[in-house]
Chains A and B, each alone.
Chain A
Amino acid sequence: MSYRRLHAVFVKELHHITRDSLSLGMALAVPVMMLLLYGYALSLDVDRVPTLVYDQDNTQASRDLIRQFQGSKYFTIEGFAGDYAAIERGIDRNDILMGVVIPRDYSRKVGSGRDASVQILLDGSDSNTASIVLGYAESVVRGYSVTLRADMMNRRAGDRAVPPVDARLRVWYNSSLESKNYVVPGLIAVILQIIAALLTSLTIAREWEMGTMEQLLSTPLRPTEIVLGKMMAYFLVGLVDALVALLVGLFVFGVPLRGSIVLLAVSICTFLFGALCWGIFISAAARTQLVAYQMGLLSSFLPAFLLSGFVYAIETMPAVIRAITYVVPARYVVTLMKGIFLKGVGLNVLWGQLGFLALYALLVFFFTTRKMNQKVV
């Protein structure tokens, strides 16, 4: 391998990148766009659930219960319904998410010390939101029930008793439970993966499609030099993207960086190398840009997004898919990023992840140069 030839390919590719200012601009804008979307707009946290109340009882006791819902920050009472049809209509049109129905005999039952029930109707189409809302609604009703019950028993026992056991919850690493804190570190990994796939998956396919590959191959360039030279150019773009994403994450969103910045840099570089190699490999295998792009999205974007534990927890996936996630490099980077950013842990915990990434990068590099060799023959 000659340094001069490597440098030549690098410069050629760099020219290619900088000449196409539209693509370059978008490559740099994508990370910012995704960070802004995730940081500001997207969240799975549920509050202010629009609720319609159908109070058949309409007594002091039932209004007392409704006040519990009104007092909770998780619910917004949108109004009162006069029949079931109004609730049904509201849910059909997405105006409300939940209906609370208090039966006619509610206050009579509670007054005479008998068990009463309240009906909660829930739009289940969004299962995640629905199960969170379900938990909130049940805890409002249960909490009310407990105080009511304790009141009555205390009155009868002539003694005050407080609930004996209390849950003291403490959240580590992300104490305010802000979704941006957990999304942004993982998102940086996903962004790198996307950029790597978008940038490189086309690079060799384009040369084949335009016929310039023949010209490249007729020069004394060796496959390793072509791969490395092209990669260095895109590595540069990837690094700029990573830097932009990091700065936005740290300074705009205030995500804490508790671990070592050196380890962070090493992880990002290792991952970027592997991801770019994979893009070049696809590009060499696909031959047309359309197929390369599709393969790139399918093998990089989709797994990075869905199978990396970035938003969707891996633990809840079925065993077969959990097994697949072990070969998704993004999974390891997401763990690394979250570990370094939020937990502040170091190599003693994360060496396995970093080791896998390094191994992956080397393997893909090896196969990519081999693939190029095959084409030469």
Chain B
Amino acid sequence: MWERIAVILRKELIQALREPRMRVFLFLPPMIQLLIFGFAVNLDVDHTKIAWMDMDRTPLSRDLRARFEGSGRFDVVATPSSEEEVQRVLDGGDAQAVVRVLPQFERDVLRGRPTEVQVLIDGTNSNTASLVSGYASEVIAAFSQSVQAGQQNVRVLTRSPGSPANMRAPQIDGRTRVWFNPDLYSRNYFVPGVIANIIMIVTMMLTALAIVREKEIGTMEQLMVTPIRPLELMLGKTLPFALVGILDVALITTVALLVFHIPLRGSLLLLFACAVLFLMTSLGAGLFLSTISQTQQQAMMANFFFTTPAFMLSGFAFPIRNMPVVVQWLTYLNPLRYFIDIVRGLFLKGVGASVLWPQMAALTVYGVVVLGLSAMRFHKTLD
């Protein structure tokens, strides 16, 4: 039996690696995905481009502008002077927001009349927009606070000239400590997730296609007349891709550590162990796809159809916490979710099996069930 499995394994490996394009495509997509997520995907907002419309033109309004620019979060890229220009700047997407200081701003402030600074924000990207609006109100609040403190001091001094020039009032500030990712790099969050994602895509699709291809070009019949048994065929078809999956994990982990300097705080051994657990599910799913599709086109469509929701509902790019409660329950059915939890826990939090055991248990159950059922179905379709 082992001899026959070895023969199938060799055939599969030769077939997978024979074509130069195929060799490249086993490892190129993971690398490209990794590079994009490592370098390009960035939800952080800094240096927002804003337009500054100053209708007041006084020292105080210039002071406010200096505060915006000094915050390090805003770059003034345009100074529109009319409504049409404001419209054009926002329509063309040249600036994310327009700050408008109304005429008589300084006079009103000095007279102690409440005034407002208008901020027009381009809401097309709601994520960026809410960050920008937060930053803008922060800058204006700080400005307002310092103006107010100055005015209050003056008032105290004029009423009771003997009191100390700077009145003491308590100020409470939040001392924030960010754990696990103190610099808040997006890549620390995304790159570990790429590992989980890649294993799923690569192994599931390669397994499904390798089998369906034989069906489509008719060589499955030839395999069936050889003494190979279904179980052996299945092992021979899945093991090479398990190997590719493990190699991809090793490759991505190496690049993550050396190029992106993602911290790996947990155990590397546990990472590989969990990868193997997850591989059972993903190879099983690949087998399942091969049983429902007759052509490679069908296999690919089905693969896409299954992997997309798995990917979206795994917490990889969109936090599960933000989903509606019903959908949050649904994500418990998604094996990828557990693996992403594990990978992030291992890389960033440095937790071990004592914390991650529920996820590992879930993966084991999924792996056994999915692989078992798919193997049975595969067996049946062959007979």
Q: From A88-96, A213-221, A227-235, A366-374, give the one contacting chain B.
A: A88-96
Q: How far is the CA of A267 from the CA of B113 in the complex (A)?
A: 51
Of chain B, the residue at the smallest CB distance from A298 is: B29
Q: How far is the CA of A302 from the CA of B198 in the complex (A)?
A: 13
Interface contact A45-B40, CB-CB below 8 Å: no
A residues 115-142 with Cβ under 8 Å of B?
115-132, 134-139, 141-142
Q: Is A262 an interface residue (CB 8 A)?
A: no
Q: Which of B36, B177, B344 contacts A120 (CB 8 A)?
A: B177
Q: How far is the CA of A116 from the CA of B171 in the complex (A)?
A: 6
Of chain A, the residue at the smallest CB distance from B158 is: A157
Q: How far is the CA of A312 from the CA of B189 in the complex (A)?
A: 14
Q: Which of A137, A142, A320 contacts B141 (CB 8 A)?
A: A142
Interface contact B39-A164, CB-CB below 8 Å: no
Q: Is A162 an interface residue (CB 8 A)?
A: yes
Q: Is B297 an interface residue (CB 8 A)?
A: yes
Interface contact B44-A173, CB-CB below 8 Å: no
Interface CB pairs A-B, < 8 A, 28: A22-B302, A23-B297, A23-B301, A42-B318, A43-B323, A45-B127, A109-B170, A117-B174, A119-B175, A119-B176, A121-B176, A124-B182, A127-B43, A128-B44, A143-B141, A153-B169, A163-B114, A164-B144, A167-B119, A182-B125, A198-B300, A290-B25, A290-B296, A293-B296, A306-B40, A321-B40, A335-B93, A349-B92
Q: How far is the CA of A121 from the CA of B176 in the complex (A)?
A: 6
Inter-chain contacts of A4 with B (CB < 8 A):
none
Inter-chain contacts of A127 with B (CB < 8 A):
43-44, 181, 184-186, 188-189
Instruction: Give the dominant DSSP class at A's interface.
Output: helix
Inter-chain contacts of A163 with B (CB < 8 A):
114, 141, 144-145, 148
Nearest chain B CB to A338 CB, angstrom units: 5
Interface contact A168-B301, CB-CB below 8 Å: no
A residues 279-318 with Cβ under 8 Å of B?
286, 288-291, 293-295, 297-298, 302, 306-307, 311-313, 315-318
Interface contact B40-A182, CB-CB below 8 Å: no
Q: Which of A135, A173, A316 contacts B122 (CB 8 A)?
A: A173
* Category for how many chain A residues contact B: 35 or more
Of chain B, the residue at the smallest CB distance from A27 is: B301
Closest 5 CB pairs of A and B: A174-B123, A124-B181, A124-B178, A128-B43, A167-B140
Q: Which of A38, A120, A132, A294 contacts B29 (CB 8 A)?
A: A294
Interface contact B91-A349, CB-CB below 8 Å: yes
Inter-chain contacts of B117 with A (CB < 8 A):
165-168
Interface contact B189-A318, CB-CB below 8 Å: no
Q: From B5-13, B253-261, B306-314, B361-369, give the one contacting chain A.
A: B306-314
B residues 17-69 with Cβ under 8 Å of A?
19, 21-22, 25, 28-29, 32-33, 36-37, 39-46, 49, 64
Inter-chain contacts of A149 with B (CB < 8 A):
145, 149, 169-171
Interface contact B189-A170, CB-CB below 8 Å: no
Identify the A interface with B (CB < 8 A): 20, 22-23, 26-27, 29-30, 33-34, 37-38, 40-46, 48, 50, 65, 91-94, 97, 109-110, 113-132, 134-139, 141-146, 148-150, 152-154, 156-159, 161-175, 177-179, 181-182, 194, 198, 202, 206, 209-210, 286, 288-291, 293-295, 297-298, 302, 306-307, 311-313, 315-318, 320-321, 335, 338-339, 342-343, 345, 349
Counting chain B CB atoms within 10 Å of each CB, which of A40, A94, A307, A335 scores highest?
Answer: A94
Inter-chain contacts of A206 with B (CB < 8 A):
295-297
Of chain A, the residue at the smallest CB distance from B134 is: A135
Interface contact B137-A315, CB-CB below 8 Å: no
Interface contact A173-B184, CB-CB below 8 Å: no
Nearest chain A CB to B339 CB, angstrom units: 14
B residues 70-92 with Cβ under 8 Å of A?
90-92
Nearest chain A CB to B289 CB, angstrom units: 11
Interface contact B301-A42, CB-CB below 8 Å: no
Q: How far is the CA of A338 from the CA of B91 in the complex (A)?
A: 11
Instruction: Give the dominant DSSP class at B's interface.
Output: helix
Interface contact A29-B305, CB-CB below 8 Å: yes
Q: Is B221 an interface residue (CB 8 A)?
A: no
Q: How far is the CA of A1 from the CA of B85 in the complex (A)?
A: 50
Of chain A, the residue at the smallest CB distance from B318 is: A42
Identify the B interface with A (CB < 8 A): 19, 21-22, 25, 28-29, 32-33, 36-37, 39-46, 49, 64, 90-93, 96, 109, 112-131, 133-138, 140-141, 143-145, 147-149, 151-152, 155-156, 159, 167-182, 184-186, 188-189, 205-206, 209, 213, 216-217, 292-293, 295-298, 300-302, 304-305, 308-309, 312-313, 317-319, 321-324, 327, 341, 344-345, 348-349, 351, 355
Q: Which of A44, A114, A178, A320 contacts B43 (CB 8 A)?
A: A44
Q: How far is the CA of A178 from the CA of B173 in the complex (A)?
A: 31
Interface contact B189-A145, CB-CB below 8 Å: no
Q: A148-B169, A170-B118, A174-B129 are in contact. List 12 more A-B contacts (CB 8 A).
A: A23-B298, A26-B305, A37-B309, A92-B349, A120-B177, A131-B44, A134-B184, A141-B174, A149-B171, A164-B109, A167-B119, A291-B25
Inter-chain contacts of A321 with B (CB < 8 A):
36, 39-40
Q: Which of B112, B181, B313 contacts A125 (CB 8 A)?
A: B181
Interface contact B175-A120, CB-CB below 8 Å: yes
Inter-chain contacts of A297 with B (CB < 8 A):
29
Inter-chain contacts of B93 with A (CB < 8 A):
335
Q: Which of B114, B179, B292 contacts A123 (CB 8 A)?
A: B179
Q: How far is the CA of A154 from the CA of B112 in the complex (A)?
A: 14
Nearest chain A CB to B351 CB, angstrom units: 5
Q: How far is the CA of A46 from the CA of B317 in the complex (A)?
A: 14
Q: Which of A30, A91, A132, A313 contacts B130 (CB 8 A)?
A: A132
Interface contact B36-A302, CB-CB below 8 Å: yes
Q: Check A117/B175 contact, CB under 8 A, given A132-B130, A135-B134.
A: yes
